[in-house]
Amino acid sequence: MLTVTPKGAFSTSYAVALDGEPVGQLRLRRFREKATAVLDGDRFTMANQLVGRHFLLKAGRLRVARADKRAFQYAVDVRLGDRGAPLAFVSAGVLATGRFVLTDGGEVVGEVVREGRGARGAFDVDLPPPVELFLAWIALAMWRRDRRRRSG
C-alpha cells in the first residue's frame, strides 16, 4: 500500500511509503501542476502539459507513463510503456468524496483515497512504485484544482 503524507501543515513536501516502509519523497510546485519525486534514490518528474490535459511521468528524459484527461470529467486514461489498452482512473462519485478508482476493462483494480492533505493508494495490478505515486499525484492535483475552483 502506498501512502503520501505531507511533512508539515503548509508543506509542499510529502513523505512516500510503501507498505509502511519509507521509500522517498514527493515535492509539489506551488503554482504549477508539477512535482519531483525521489524513490529509492531514483529521480522522477511529473508534470501537466498542454493546458491541463496531459500528465507525464518521466525518469530523466524517458517517458514512463502518460495520462490524458477526459474533457469535462475528473477522469484520465493512463498509458503505461508497452501496455496496449489504457487503464481508466476515475473519480468515484463527487470529487469532494476524495476517492479515485483505477479500472482495467471495467474491472476495479485499485484506488487512491484522500487522507487529510495526503493520499493512500492500493492496487491489485502489478504497477511499479513510480506509477503508483504518479496516480496519487494526479489525484492530489485534481483535488487541488477542485479546492481552488470552489474557493473562488
Q: What is each CA distance from 145 to 28, 95, 151, in whole angstroms?
A: 14, 10, 10
CA dist 114 and 97 (Å) reads 8
Closest by CA to 136, choosing from 31, 35, 22, 7, is 35
What predicted TM-score, i.e. pTM, was given to this entire model?
0.90
Q: Map out the domains of the chain as residue ranges.
A: 2-151
Topology (CATH level 3) of domain 2-151: Porin (2.40.160)
The pLDDT value given to residue 71:
85
Q: Give bridge partners of residue 99 from the DSSP assignment.
A: 113
* Segments of the chain with pLDDT less than 50: none
For the chain, how many residues are written? 152
The pLDDT value given to residue 41:
95
